[in-house]
Chain A
Amino acid sequence: MEVIEQIKEQVVNAKVLKVNPLESEAIYIFREVVAQFEKPVLLFSGGKDSITLVRLAQKAFYPGKIPFPLLHIDTGHNFPETIEFRDRLVKELGVELIVRNVQDSIDQGKVTEEKGKYASRNSLQTTTLLDALEEFKFDAAIGGARRDEEKARAKERIFSVRDDFGQWDEKNQRPELFDHLNGKIDLGQNVRVFPISNWTELDVWSYIQKEEIEIPSIYFAHKRKTFIRDGMIWSAEDEVVHREDDELVEERLVRFRTVGDMSCTAAVLSDAITIDKVVAEIRESTISERGARIDDKRSEAAMEKRKQQGYF
Chain B
Amino acid sequence: MDVLKIATAGSVDDGKSTLIGRILYDTKSLTSDKLEAIETRSKANGFDYLDFSLATDGLVAEREQGITIDVAHIYFSTKTKSYIIADTPGHIEYTRNMVTGASTSQASIILVDARKGVIEQTYRHFFINNLLRVKDVIVAINKMDLVDFSQSTYEAIKSDFEKLIAKSDYKEQNITFIPVSALQGDNVVDASKNTPWYKGKTLLEHLEELDAQDVYEKAEVRFPVQTVIRPKKDEFHDFRGYAGKLYGGDLSVGDEVTVLPSLTTSKVKEIFFFDKKFDTAGRGSSCTITLEDDVNVSRGDMIVKSSEKPRVEKQLTATICWMDNKDLNPGANYFIQSGSNRILAKVKNISGTVATDFSGEDTAKNSLSLNEIGKVEIQLSKPLAIDSYSKNKVSGSFILIDSQTNNTSGVGFIQ
What is A's interface to B at a CB cutoff of 8 Å? 14-19, 21-25, 27-28, 31-32, 34-35, 58-65, 147-148, 150-155, 170-171, 173-180, 182, 184-186, 197-198, 200, 202-203, 285-288, 291, 300-301, 304
Contact = CB atoms under 8 A, between A and B. Distances in A.
Contacts of B338: 180
Nearest to B216: A19
Grouping DSSP codes into helix (H, G, I), strand (E, B) and loop, the A interface class, with mixed when no group exceeds half, is loop
B274 A19 contact: no
B168 interface: no
Given A19-B284, A58-B274, A186 B406 contact: yes
Contact of B84 (A19, A198, A300, A301): A198
A176 B101 CA distance: 8
Contact of A64 (B69, B230, B323): B230
Nearest to A198: B84
A286 B59 CA distance: 24
Contacts of A200: 75, 77, 82
B231 A63 contact: yes
Given A60-B243, A148-B75, A304-B58, A178 B70 contact: no
Q: Which 3 A-B pairs have the closest CB atoms?
A: A151-B58, A27-B286, A64-B231
Interface stretch (B29-37, B176-184, B302-310): B29-37
Contacts of B311: none
Interface residues of B, number: 83
B58 A155 contact: yes
A16 to B, nearest CB: 5
A151 B33 contact: no
A185 B405 CA distance: 8
A180 B75 contact: no
Contacts of A27: 245, 286
A63 B340 CA distance: 21
Contacts of A59: 273-274
B161 interface: no
B101 to A, nearest CB: 9
A301 B57 CA distance: 11
Contact of B408 (A16, A151, A175, A186): A175
A63 B286 contact: no
A171 B408 CA distance: 15
A17 B271 contact: yes
Contacts of B280: 14-17
B227 A31 contact: yes
A301 B60 contact: yes
A309 to B, nearest CB: 14
B226 interface: yes
13 contacts: A15-B276, A24-B245, A152-B59, A155-B70, A170-B59, A170-B61, A175-B100, A178-B394, A182-B337, A185-B406, A202-B77, A285-B31, A300-B41
Contacts of B99: 175, 177
Interface stretch (B6-14, B345-353, B374-382, B396-404): B396-404
A64 B227 CA distance: 12
A18 B244 CA distance: 15
B96 interface: yes
A154 B57 CA distance: 9
Given A16-B279, A62-B274, A154 B74 contact: yes
A198 B75 CA distance: 8
Given A34-B227, A173-B70, A174-B408, A17 B103 contact: no
Contacts of A179: 245, 339, 394
Contact of A151 (B55, B97, B281): B55
Given A178-B397, A180-B337, A286 B31 contact: yes
Contacts of B340: 32, 35
B138 interface: no
B125 interface: no
A28 B274 CA distance: 13
B399 A35 contact: no
Interface in B95-126: 96-97, 99-100, 103-104
Contacts of B394: 178-179
A147 B84 CA distance: 10
A180 B34 CA distance: 33
B159 interface: no
A304 B59 contact: yes
B163 interface: no
B73 A147 contact: yes
B59 A180 contact: no
Contacts of A25: 286
B399 A291 contact: no
A175 B96 contact: yes
Candidate in B97, B250, B272, B288 with the most chain A CB atoms within 10 angstroms: B288
Contacts of B226: 28, 31-32, 35
Given A15-B277, A16-B250, 18 more contacts: A17-B281, A19-B215, A19-B284, A27-B286, A62-B272, A63-B272, A155-B72, A170-B61, A177-B397, A177-B399, A178-B397, A184-B401, A184-B406, A197-B73, A200-B82, A285-B31, A287-B31, A288-B34
Given A35-B340, A62-B272, A174 B288 contact: no
Contacts of A180: 337-339, 397-399
Interface in B303-338: 323, 335, 337-338
A242 B339 CA distance: 51
Contacts of A62: 229, 272, 274-275, 288
A304 B75 contact: no
Contacts of B229: 61-64
Candidate in B33, B63, B279, B283 with the most chain A CB atoms within 10 angstroms: B33
B49 interface: no
B3 A21 contact: yes
Given A17-B282, A64-B229, A197-B73, A171 B61 contact: yes
A291 B281 contact: no
Nearest to B100: A175
Interface string B243-256: 11100001000000
B285 interface: yes
B142 interface: no
Given A17-B273, A62-B275, A175 B397 contact: no
B282 A151 contact: no
Contacts of B37: 300
Nearest to A203: B82
A185 B60 CA distance: 27
A150 B74 CA distance: 10
A185 B403 CA distance: 10
